[in-house]
Structure 1
Amino acid sequence: MKRTCGRGGATTLFLGVLLLGALVGAAPAQAQSTAAADLPQDPALRSGTLDNGLRYAVIRSAAPKGSVSIRFAVDVGSYEEAESERGLAHFVEHMAFRATTHFEEGRLEHDLAELGVAAGRDHNAFTQMFSTFYQLDLPDGDAARLGLAFRWLRDVADGVVFAPEAVERERGVVLAEKEARNSNDQVAEDAITRFQGPELRSTARAPIGLEAVLRRASAEDLRRFHDRWYRPEHAVVAMAGDLPVEVMEGWIKGAFETWKTAGPLPARASRAAPDPRRGVDALTLPDAGLSDRLDVCRLRPGGPVGALSLADRRAADLQDLWVTILNARLAARADHDPTLLDGQASIYGAARDAAATCLEIAPKGQAWAGALAAAEAEFRRLRQDGPTETELEAALEVRRATLRGGISVVSTETANDLADEILQTLLTRAVFVEPRQLLRAYGVEMENVTPEDVRLAAVRDWAGSGPLIDAQGEAPPARAALIDAWRQAEAAPALAAFQDPPTPTWAYEDFGRGRVGSAARRARISCA
C-alpha cells in the first residue's frame, strides 16, 4: 500500500525500462505550500536529521515477530556519472560486498549466514539511476545481529576497501551481469529510450554502464567515485522492526553520528528536458523474439521531487481518473474490435528530466494500423467529450476502495515492506502518511470534481514532444508506414460521444407465490 505523498516513486521512466530508481531524485526538497501541510506525517514514524546531514526514519512493526529491516541509501546513482564513469556507481556497490574495513574478503557473507541472514534473500543491494541502496532483513533484532549489520553499513559509508586485486576479481562478476542483461527485450527497451529522449541524460545512464568503462576502471577510479558521492548529506537510513523506536534510533545514531567528510558538496549533473519542437516520429524494431506491441508517447519536462501541494495532488488524482476511465474503455473495445488485442494508457513520471504519457497497444495479428487507429480514436473521444458521470463515479470508487484497503492492512504490514517504503519517502523527500489521512485527503482533493475536470486533465497530460511511436515484433510496419497510420488516425472522423452501457437488470423480479424463507430452509436440510 503506497503511503507516501510526493513526486517520484519506485517505478520506471519510459515504457517499462528497468531503471528501478528513475523516478527518485536527489534535488533539494521543493518548497512546500501551506496546502501541503494538511497531510501530516504518520505519528508512528519517528524521523530526524543527524548533525552531519544524514536523514533517518524508524517505525515499529511486529510482523514478522522479532524481525528488523534496515535500509541504507545514498541519493546518488548512475545519473551522476561522467561519460568516463558510466557503470562505476554499480561497480562500487559490488565492492561493498567484497571487502570493507571490518570484514575482510569473504567474511561478511560467512558471518551473516551464521546469524541466519541469507545473501540475496535477506541481504542485497541495488544501484538505480538516482540512488544506490543496501538492505538487510534480520530474523531477530538482538544485539549480535544489529551490531554486525550496522558495522557493515557504516563500512559501506566510509570503509569500502578498493584493493586492486579485489577489483579485478569483481570486474568479471560485473561484466557477466552486463552480459546477462542483454536480452532481446532489454536491447529493444534501450533502443526505445534513446529514440524517445536522445537529448536526455537519463536515456544514456542505465546503471549497468558501458563495457569499455567497466573493463578499464581502476581501484582508484572507484575510490574517487565513492569518496565524492558517499557523504552523510547524501545518505538516508530507514528502519522498521519489532523494537521500540527509541532503540532503533539509538542504533542509527551510534553507527553514523561520527561519519564525517571534508570539502564542499560535489555539483550535481544538469537536467535537460525533452525537445518541445519535436513532432510525430517513429521507430520500428523487427525481431522474431519480441512480442507484437505498439507504443505512442508524448514527453514533457519532469517535476522536482518533494512533498506535493493540494493542487499537485489534485492534478495527480485527476490523472489517475482519466487513465482508469480510458483503460476501461479500451478493455471493453478490445472485446469486440477485430484489430485490437489489448490497449492501455500509462503515465511515466515525473523523473528529473522527463515525464511521459503513453498509449500501449497490442494488435490482433498484423492489424497494426487498425489497432493504432482504435486506441487513438478512444483517447481522442475522451479528450473531446470527457467521461460520463457514471464512469467518473466508478473510477472514484476504484481509488476509494484502494485507500480503504490500505487502512485494513496497516496492522499486517511487514517490517521489510515498511522499510522499503520509508526509504523511498526519504529519498523523494515526500510525506509518509497514515492511510486514514490519505482517504480523508482524497475526499478533499476530489470534492466537487466534474467530468470536465477529468477531460481537461487528459488534454493537459497529452502534451509535449511527439507523438513518438515505436513498434516491435516479428514484422512491424516501417517507420514511414507508422507515421502515416498515425496521421490517418488523427484525421479520421471523431467517434460519437461515449454512451454508458445499459445497466444490467436482475432477471428474477417475480418469484411467484410462496414462502421463500421456508424453501431456503428445506434446501439446507436436503443438502445436509
Structure 2
Amino acid sequence: MTYLKPKLFLKPFALLTLLLIMSNLLLAQDKLSQKIPVDSNVKIGKLTNGLTYYIRKNMKPEKKVELRLVINAGSILEDDDQQGLAHFTEHMAFNGSKNFKKNDLVSFLQSIGVEFGADLNAYTSFDETVYILPIPTDKKENIDKGFQILEDWGSTIAFEGGEIDKERGVVLEESRLGKGAQERMQKVYFPKLLEGSKYSDRLPIGKDDILKNFKYDVIKRFYKDWYRPDLMAVVVVGDIEVAEAEKYIKTHFEKLKNPTKPRPRIEPVVPGRQKSEAVIATDKEATNHFVQIYYSTQKASPENTIGDYRAYMVRNLFTSMLSQRLQELTQSANPPFIFGGSSLSGFVRGHEAYASYAVLGKGGVEPALNAIVQENERARKFGFTPAELERTKKTMMKGMDRAYNERDKTESENFVQEYVNNFLEKEPIPGIENEYIYYQDYLNNISLEEVNQYAAKVIPATNANKLIVLTGPEKADFKIPTSTELLTLAENASKVEVKAYEEKAVAASLMEKAPAPGKITAEKENKELRLTELTLSNHVKVILKPTDFKNDQVVFTGSRFGGQYLYSAADRNNAEFASTIVSQMGIDQFSPVDLRKVLAGKNASITPRIGAISETVNGQSSATDVETLLQLVHLYFTRPRKDDELFQSFISKQQAMYQNMAADPQFTFQDSVFRTLYKNHPWAPRVPKAEIFGQINEQRALDIYRERFGDASGFTFVLVGAFDIAKIKPLIATYLGSLPATGKSSTFKDIGLRPVKGSLKKEVRKGTEQKSFIRMFWNGEAPYSDSEQLKVQALIEVLNIKLIESLREEMSGVYGGGMFGNLNKFPYNNFSIGASFPCGPENVDKLIAAALSEIEKIKTTGPSEADLNKVKETWKQQYEVNIKDNNFWARQLIQSIEYGSDASNVLSYEKRIAALTPKDVKETAAKYLDAKNYIQVVLYPEK
C-alpha cells in the first residue's frame, strides 16, 4: 500500500508533462508558421501611383545618405528591336534631363565630392536597373538636388538625338570590353542553358548592330513603357530624418503618372530540363578548361514565414559543409581539379538550379567529373558527420554574433542592398535583432538528420536530367571529348560506389600551452593620436590604438624592411612564393583544412607576406578573438609547417592554372609591357607562367621564409580597434614579446631595377577581336616628400576628370580607363605615372593625341579652380569616412613607421589639401610629364 501514493501522484504529473511538451511543440510550430516580420527600423510606404519607398536613418557614415532609384525593368522586357536599350537607357540618364543639361549632373556631383564611377554609378541586369547616388548631407541644397536627380532619372531623361549618337560609341566600347574567348564560348552554350526562355537571347549588353543603328523613338518607347512609378522604388538610408526623406519622396514622385494602358510586367519562366545533354565550346584564346553541370531549373521557393527562414539556415549549413569537402579535395598532391563547388543557387530571378563546377587540373575532364559527381553522391547518400555540422554551426553563429554586435555601426550601403532585394525579389528584411533571435532559437536545434535529409532531397539523383558544359582552349596535348563522350564520363562517374566521408580528428585548440612571455620594457602615450607605444623585451615595438569605430573588429598589421631583393636572382622563385607556400602548407600541426576546423566559431586570420623590400603580416579578428589572432601571429613566425603533399598540390594547381595563359591577348600584352619597361631585368615585374612553379624548391622556399620571419628583430606591429589596453597588454607580452629576436638589423637592398628612360613606342599584336589597349608611362627619379606626393595625386585626379570629359564624353572613344601613379621613397626615390585605355584599334591614334593634348593643357595653363576644387571636395568626403575606419588608421600608422614621417600628419590632411593651388598642379605636371621621357605600348589585334 505504501507504493499507491507515489503511483497516484505520477499519473497526473506524467499527463501534465505530456501536455506541456505538446503545448510547447504547438507553440513552436505556431511560431514557425508566423510571417517573417519587417525590421521596425525601416519605414516602408507606397505612394498612390504605386511607387514603393524605403527609409532608414543610419549614422554610419555620418553626414552621408545613400539614395537608390530601383526600376523593376531590365533587358528581359526589351522588344526584339530594343536589345541592349535597357542598358543604353541607364547610360542616357547621365547625359541630360529636364533639370540637368549634358555634363551638368556629373559636374555638380563631382563638385560636392561624389566621384563618377566610384560613387555615382548604375547597373542594368536581366530583370532590373538600379541607380546609385551617395550624397553628402552637410548642405541642404545637396540633398535637394539629390532627390531632383532621382526624379529626373525616373521621369525626364532627355534622349536628345545628338547625345544618343555620341553615347553609342561609349556603349559599344563597353560591349567591346566583354568580347573575347569567354564571350564567344558563352554564345555557344548560353542558349542551351536557358533554353525555352526569353533570357537566352536578352543579355543586357545587347546586340552591336542594334546599338549602332536603333532609331531614337525605339529607346524612348522602352523608357515610356517601363520607367513608371508602379515599377519603381526609392531607397533612402543614411544621416537624414525619416520624415524629411519621406517629404522629399512625396514631393518628387507623387506627381509621376502611370501609362493609361500599362504593358504587363510578365515574369519569364525558365522551363525544366527535359533530357540530358552536353555542350562543348572551345576557343584558341581561352586559358583554362572549365566543366559545369546544370541540373533542371525550378521555381525558387518563397521565404515568407519564420519556418522558411529556418529552412534557409538548413540550406546554408548544407552548402557550407559541401563546399568545405570540395575544398579538401584540392589538397592532394594530384588534385582532381584546381577549385570547384556545388550548390543550389539563384539562377535568374525567381528560379534556382542545382549546379556543380570545376576548373580542370592536369588530369583533365575525367578526374574532375568523377570528383564532383561522386562528392555530390556521397553527401546525398550518407550525409554529413556530427563534427562537420558542429563546426559549421559555430562558424555561422559567429558570423551572426558579429553582425549583431555591429548593428549600430553598420554602413548604410549594406542596408540599402537589403531593401533593393526586398523590392525586387521579396527577400525578407526582418532586421538583425530578429535574425539574431532566430539563430539563437533554431540553429543549435537543427539536427544532423534534418540536414542530411535536405542533402538527399536537394542533390539530384545521378540519372537526373542535366546539361554538362565543357569550355576551354584547343590544345594538341588535351583531348576534348565529344558531347556523347562527356555524358558517358558523367554516367560512369555516377556508377562508382562511394563510401561515407571519414572525419579526421584535430586538436581542440591552436596551442597546447602559451609560450613563456616576454616583458613590456617601455610604454609611451601619444595623447594627440590616442596611441600607446610599447617596446617589448625582444625589442619588438607595438602601437595600440583602441577605437569605437566598430564594436567587434580588431585590425592587425606589422612590417619591417627586408624582402625578396635580399636574395640573388637565382633564388627569385623561391623568395617570391615562400610566404604563399607556407600559407598553403599551414602552421605547426595544422594544414589549412585542419586550421579551418580548429578555428571554427572564431573569427581571426593572419596573412604573412614577403614583398620586394619588406616583410609584412596583416590580419583581423573579432574583439573576443584577439588572443587567437596573436596566437596565429606567433605560430606563423615560429612554426611554419612543411608538407610535401600540399606543396605538390600547390605546384600542380598553379601549373595547370597558368599553362595556357599566354593564349590570352591581355596576358601577352602585359608581359610585353613589363619587358619593354625593364628590358628583361631578372627582377622585373612579371606575369606568372607555368614553368616558374616547376623551378621552386620546397626546402629552399621554407628556409627563406624562416630567415625572414624566424627573427622578429625590427618589426613594428599595429593593433587598431575594439580592445582594452590593460587587457591586451598581457597577451602582447605573451605572444609578441616571446617572438625570437636576435637584435640583428634588417634593411632592404636596392638591386638597381629601373625603368627605361627616354622616348619609346612599341606595338604588340595579339588576339582576334578588334580590341586595343593603350598604356602610357612616365618614370624617373625624384625626391620623395609627403607634400609632393599630394601634388602628384592631385595632378592624376584632375587629369582623370579631363580625360573622362574628352575621351569618353566628347569623343565617345572609351568606356573606362584613366591615369594612375605615385611617388615612391623605396628602394630609391622615384616617380611612376601611367595611363591605360581600352579602345577600338581605329581610335588608338586620336585617343593618344587627345590624352596628350589634355596633359599639355595642364602643363601650360594648369587646371581650372573648379576642377581642382572637385578633387579637393572628393578627398575631403573620403577623409571624413576614412578617419573613422580601423583599416585606414592601421595603414597610416604602419606607413608612418616605414617612411619615418610624423603620424600626426593624418590630422592635418584637410588643411594640406585646402592649400593646394592650380599653380602647384601645373608645376607638378611640367616636372613629371616630360614628353622626352615617355613610354607608349599599344595592343592591336593580329589582323
Assess same fold via TM > 0.5: yes
| TM-superposition CA deviations, 1:289-343 (whole Å, max 9, x none) | 3323221221321227x65323433333222222211221222222126242322
Q: Deviations over 1:373-428 (max 9, x none)?
A: 12222211111011111111222222212211211222222223332332222222
Query: Contact 2:96 / 2:158 at 8 angstroms: preserved in 1?
Result: yes
Cα pair 1:281 1:466 within 8 Å, conserved? no
Determine which of 137, 140, 143 is the counterpart of 1:140. 137
Cα distance in 2 for partners of 1:318, 1:189 equals 33
2:295 aligns with one of 294, 298, 309: 298
Q: How does 1:391-430 map to 2 (within 5 A)?
A: 391-430=388-427
User: Are the structure 2 counterparts of residues 196 and 261 from structure 1 closer, same or farther at C-alpha, using a change threshold of 3 Å?
Assistant: closer
Q: Given the alignment of the two structures, is residue 93 of structure 1 paired with residue 90 of structure 2, yes or no?
A: yes
Which protein is bigger by CA-based radius of gyration?
A: 2
Distance 1:488 1:39 in 2: 45
Letter in 1 for 2:195: P
> Equivalences for 1:21-420 in 2 at 5 Å?
35=32, 37-269=34-266, 271-303=268-300, 307-336=303-332, 338-340=334-336, 341-349=338-346, 351-352=348-349, 354-420=351-417
Pairs within 5 Å for 1:503-514:
503-504=506-507
Structure 1 pair 138–236 and aligned structure 2 pair: CA distance change class (3 A): same
Q: Which moved more, 1:117-126 or 1:335-344?
A: 335-344
CA distance in 1, matches of 2:252, 2:286: 49
In 2: Cα distance, 1:95 partner to 1:440 partner? 45
User: Runs of 5+ in structure 2 lacking a partner?
Assistant: 1-29, 522-535, 540-943
Q: Alpha-carbon deviation of 1:445?
A: 4.6
Query: Once the 2 structures are TM-superposed, how far is the Cα of residue 265 of structure 1 from its aligned partner?
Result: 2.7
Q: In structure 2, what is the Cα distance between the partners aligned to 1:505 and 1:63?
A: 38
Alignment check: 8 A CA contact 1:39 1:441 kept: no
- The answer to whether the Cα contact below 8 Å between 1:167 and 1:218 also exists between their aligned partners in 2 is no
1:500 to 489, 500, 503: 503
Query: Is this contact kept in 1: 2:288–2:360, CA < 8 A?
Result: no
Partner of 1:484: 488
C-alpha deviation, 1:366, in angstroms: 3.4
Report the secondary structure of 1:318's partner residue. helix
Cα distance 1:482–1:107, how it changes in 2: closer, same or farther (>3 A)? same
Q: How far did residue 86 of structure 1 move? A: 1.2
Shift of 1:68: 1.3
Counterpart of 2:594? Answer: none
Rounded to whole Å, the distance in 1 between the matches of 2:418 and 2:284 is 38
Residue 467 of structure 1 and its aligned partner are, at CA, apart by 2.6
| 2:48 maps to amino acid | D
- Please name the residue that 1:456 is paired with: 453
2:312 maps to amino acid:
A
Q: CA deviation at 1:437?
A: 1.3
**Where does the alignment leave 5 or more consecutive residues of structure 1 unmatched?**
1-32
Q: Between the two proteins, what is the percent identity of the paired residues?
A: 23
For the Cα contact (< 8 Å) 1:62–1:241, is it kept in 2?
Answer: yes
Distance 1:246 1:508 in 2: 55
Q: Residue 100 of structure 1: CA displacement?
A: 0.7
User: Are 1:53 and 1:232, in contact at CA under 8 Å, matched by a contact in 2?
Assistant: yes
Secondary structure of the structure 2 residue equivalent to 1:372:
helix
What's the Cα RMSD here? 2.8
- Residue in structure 2 matched with residue 436 of structure 1 by the alignment: 433
SS at match of 2:94: helix
Structure 2 match to 1:16:
none
Q: Report the Cα offset of residue 49 of structure 1.
A: 0.8
Q: 1:311 to 1:40 in 2, by over 3 A?
A: closer
User: Would the alpha carbon gap of residues 80 and 460 (structure 1) be closer, same or farther in structure 2, given more than 3 Å must change?
Assistant: farther
State the alpha-carbon separation in 2 of the partners of residues 34 and 418 from structure 1.
Answer: 26
| C-alpha distance in 2 between matches for 1:417 and 1:92 | 26
- In structure 2, C-alpha distance between the alignment counterparts of 1:109 and 1:508, rounded to whole Å: 56
Aligned residues: 488
**1:6 aligned partner:** none
Cα deviation digits, residues 23-66 of structure 1 (max 9, x gap): xxxxxxxxxx9856453222221121111111111111222221
Between 1 and 2, higher relative CO (CA 8 Å, sep ≥ 6) is seen in 1
| Of 161-170 and 483-492, the range deviating more from structure 2 | 161-170
SS of equivalent residue, structure 1 residue 98 = coil
CA distance in 2, matches of 1:290, 1:372: 19
**Could you say which residue in structure 2 is the equivalent of 1:24?**
none
In structure 2, the CA distance between the partners of 1:408 and 1:167, relative to structure 1 (3 Å rule), is: same
Bigger mean CA deviation after superposition, 193-202 or 33-42: 33-42
Question: Which deviates more, 288-297 or 240-249?
Answer: 288-297
**Counterpart Cα distance in 2 of 1:441 and 1:508:** 34
Q: 1:434 to 1:315 in 2, by over 3 A?
A: closer
SS at match of 1:265: coil
Q: 1:508 to 1:151 in 2, by over 3 A?
A: closer
Q: Tell me how far apart the structure 2 counterparts of residues 347 and 187 of structure 1 sit (CA, whole Å).
A: 27
The one-letter code matched in structure 1 to 2:317 is L
Relative to structure 1, is the Cα distance of residues 119 and 526 closer, same or farther in structure 2, using a 3 angstrom cutoff? Answer: closer
Q: Distance in 1 between matches of 2:166 and 2:213?
A: 13
Greater alpha carbon shift after TM alignment, 391-400 vs 342-351: 342-351
SS at match of 1:113: helix
Deviations 1:250-300 (A, max 9, x none): 211121111123313312345233333222434343444332322122132
CA distance in 2, matches of 1:352, 1:521: 58
Deviation at 1:522, TM superposition (A): 8.5
2:509, 2:85 → 1: CA distance? 64
Q: Indicate the larger mover: 68-77 or 116-125.
A: 116-125
In 1: Cα distance, 2:179 partner to 2:503 partner: 46
